[in-house]
């Protein structure tokens, strides 16, 4: 049985109770909260394995909570799945940019929630097995601390930029289509925003400085990391 600790943040107590009951059947330990303040108090004492986070909350909304946690070394590695009644492409992209690991639109079934939790926790386990990725002799990505250094200097990437670089460097020389990059970021959540990937790649290259040479655009296909640079 899985004994991972899941934190659920939603201001509707019925939703918290319904989800809690459903995922406890999988063996998860669960703590429920109605607002950011209660969650932050809990995080001072315990670190959950995953957070289910509603977007529309009293006070600080879910997007801002997610951004805040991803900026702190202590919490940046905690996977976050956002729950929201907002299901437009813009909302989902905003959730991704905030650093969430997945985005579930309400209403949704408890079986979908459990499947998403399993998928995110699996990705976290795989990531923890190889905590650092080297790109050439210039870039080091620390997957545990969510940090990147370029020629010994820390680079400030957004969560989306970091995860795109993680995706490309997971199979060097392999060409990832824009669709495949989106699937890495969002799992089975289908969002057609190919041009958004191009924008993130452009910003990523700017922040990598000289190391931007490792990111290659394969016209009409997608992007790859190529270390064998003449």
Lowest mean pLDDT among 13-22, 51-60, 102-111: 102-111
| pLDDT value for 86 | 75
Which residue from 79, 184, 76 is spatially nearest to 125, judged by alpha carbons?
Answer: 79
Quick one: DSSP state of residue 109? -
Residue whose tokens read 């009409």:
220
* Higher pLDDT, residue 124 or 12: 12
pLDDT tens, 75-132? 888 899 999 887 777 777 778 788 888 888 888 899 999 999 988 888 776 655 557 8
Q: What is the secondary structure of 9-57 as a DSSP string? A: E-S-HHHHHHHHHHHHTTT-EEEEESSHHHHHHHHTT---SEEEEESS-
Instruction: Report how far residue 8's alpha carbon sits from residue 97's, in angstroms, rounded to the nearest whole number.
Output: 21
- The CATH number of domain 5-128, selected from 3.40.718.10, 3.40.50.2300, 3.10.180.10, 3.30.590.20: 3.40.50.2300
Instruction: Report how far residue 8's alpha carbon sits from residue 15's, in angstroms, rounded to the nearest whole number.
Output: 9
| pLDDT value for 187 | 62
89: how many CB neighbours lie within 10 A of its CB?
A: 11
> If you average pLDDT over every residue of the chain, what do you get?
86
Residue 189 pLDDT more than 80? no
| pLDDT value for 183 | 77
Cβ atoms of 7 and 16 closer than 8 Å: no
Sign of CA dihedral 170, 175, 177, 178: positive
**Where along the chain do its domains lie?**
5-128, 130-225
Q: Rg of the chain over CA atoms, in angstroms?
A: 18
pLDDT tens, 198-223? 888 999 999 999 999 999 999 888 99
CATH architecture of 130-225: Orthogonal Bundle (1.10)
* Higher pLDDT, residue 105 or 54: 54
Fold matches, 5-128 and 130-225: no
| pLDDT value for 181 | 86
Instruction: Report how far residue 222's alpha carbon sits from residue 131's, in angstroms, rounded to the nearest whole number.
Output: 26
Contacts of 188 (CB under 8 A, 6+ apart): 119
Residue 228 pLDDT more than 90? no
- Does this model's pTM top 0.85? My answer is no
Q: How far is CA 85 from CA 95, 159, 216, in A?
A: 13, 23, 38
E strand segments, the chain: 5-9, 29-33, 50-54, 80-84, 102-105, 132-135, 139-142, 147-150, 153-154, 176-177, 215-218, 222-225
């Amino acid at each position: 049985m899985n004994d991972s600790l899941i934190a659920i943040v939603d201001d509707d107590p019925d939703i918290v109770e319904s989800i809690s009951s459903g995922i406890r059947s999988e063996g998860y330990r669960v703590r429920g909260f109605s607002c950011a303040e209660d969650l932050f108090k809990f995080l001072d004492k315990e670190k959950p394995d995953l957070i289910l986070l509603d977007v529309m909350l009293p006070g600080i909304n879910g997007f801002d909570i997610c951004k805040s946690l991803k900026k702190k070394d202590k919490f940046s590695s905690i996977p976050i799945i956002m729950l929201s009644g907002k299901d437009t492409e813009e909302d989902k992209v905003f959730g991704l940019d905030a650093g969430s690991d997945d985005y579930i639109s309400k209403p949704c079934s408890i079986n979908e929630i459990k499947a998403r939790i399993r998928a995110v926790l699996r990705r976290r386990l795989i990531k923890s097995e190889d905590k650092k990725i080297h790109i050439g002799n210039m870039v080091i990505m620390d997957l545990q601390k969510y940090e990147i250094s370029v020629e010994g200097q820390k680079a400030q990437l957004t969560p989306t930029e970091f995860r795109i670089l993680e995706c490309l460097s997971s199979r060097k020389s392999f060409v990832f289509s824009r669709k495949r990059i989106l699937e890495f970021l969002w799992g089975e959540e289908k969002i057609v925003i190919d041009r958004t990937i191009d924008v993130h790649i452009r910003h990523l290259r700017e922040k990598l400085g000289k190391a931007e040479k490792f990111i290659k655009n394969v016209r009409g296909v997608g992007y790859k990391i190529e270390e064998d640079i003449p």
